[in-house]
Amino acid sequence: MIERTLFSDEHRMFRDSVRRFMEHEVVPHHERWEEQGYVDREAWLKAGANGMLCATMPQEYGGSGADKLYSIVVMEEISRANATGLGFGLHSEIVAPYILHYGSEEQKRRFLPKMASGETIAAIAMSEPAAGSDLQGVRTTAIRKAGAYVLNGSKTFITNGWHADLVIVVAKTDPQAGAKGISLLLVERGMKGFEKGRRLKKVGMKAQDTAELFFDNVEVPEANLLGGENEGFAYLMQELPWERLQIAIAAVENAQAAIDWTSAYVKERKLFGTTVSAFQNTRFKLAELQTEVQIARVFVDKCIELLMQERLDTATASMAKYWCSDLQCKVVDECVQLHGGYGYMWEYPIARAWADARVQRIYGGTNEIMKEVITRSMGLGGR
């Protein structure tokens, strides 16, 4: 196995502490969270107290001012434990950077410290019943009126949506201008007309609260406009490389975890008087999967290097997202097969990982959209 060179001793020490947190504060409760459909807010507060939320935010806004490798450690350890209920990554490394990069000083000081402590749980609302990967097709509107934006519309598939105290809402402030008429608004819990719908029942990721959100003439103060009016689409595009790389990072780590669980299982499971690992098919299949995951790991680590140098482009990040999420689904499915009937039992982590993995090929932009992005970077025409 190729030694990873990205992480310092400090990163490795932090990884040990995050792994202990997962073992003691997350894994013992995750099955209960799956049954109730959401993670206890107490877990968010404990994560904040342990420096696991918004670590890359500057210290003046409640973070640690750490480099992104610390956030990557958290992502990897969550994926290693298959703790898919935790919406920490979206909160810390999607929502918080939007506020840091495009927010006013007042917005940063109002929202980021409580996000870092876990007191405020954040979400971003892009997808709608009739607009998923096509953000230009959003129908939610925010029309300026008397010092506020009057927000109307609905969103669906919103991670952290049911718990959310703060939501970045993608809306049309100029409905006739297409992508050039999109803005980002900071909508807070308690605003009149802002309602949360049911927690959606999903095939996998059952502990992650995923909700519908409804906006009925919500008056959002002008002070809650994030960045410039009608600049939202540009902001969304600028943040995409990092967002898509996060999916690839999680996919590779979860695929490796699936191999590790399966390797341990086949060494113990007896069949026809010997262990399942004694069969050549088992060993060759695991060798194939491990090789592919190693290749993916090297590519993703190179993407991380480019990210740290601010050189990661959207097409390369899209390659990582599409390839690694496809590979994750393949690896987990093959590992279910090697578990036999037990691989289909919910009590085994491989069964949960199998159900949880499938959505990776859909969210963050479907893998078909990723291929469109890649072909455009190659100068190939399309619609």
Annotated catalytic sites, by residue? 243
Q: Which of 357, 350, 352, 356 is nearest to 335 (CA)?
A: 350
Residue (of 26, 38, 29, 41) closest to 211 by Cα position: 38
Three-state SS string across the chain, please? CCCCCCCCHHHHHHHHHHHHHHHHHHHHHHHHHHHHCCCCHHHHHHHHHCCCCCCCCCHHHCCCCCCHHHHHHHHHHHHHCCCCCCCHHHHHHHHHHHHHHHCCHHHHHHHHHHHHHCCCCEEEECCECCECCCHHHCCCEEEEECCEEEEEEEEEEEECCCCCCEEEEEEECCCCCHHHHEEEEEEECCCCCEEEEEECCCCCCCCCCEEEEEEEEEEEEHHHEECCCCCHHHHHHHHHHHHHHHHHHHHHHHHHHHHHHHHHHHHHCEECCEEHHHCHHHHHHHHHHHHHHHHHHHHHHHHHHHHHCCCCCHHHHHHHHHHHHHHHHHHHHHHHHHHHHHHHCCCCHHHHHHHHHHHHHCCCCCHHHHHHHHHHHCCCCCC
The count of residues in the chain is 383
Residue 90's nearest CA partner among 154, 172, 166, 155 is 166
d(CA 23, CA 185): 37
Non-local CB neighbours of 378 within 8 Å, separated by 6+ positions: none
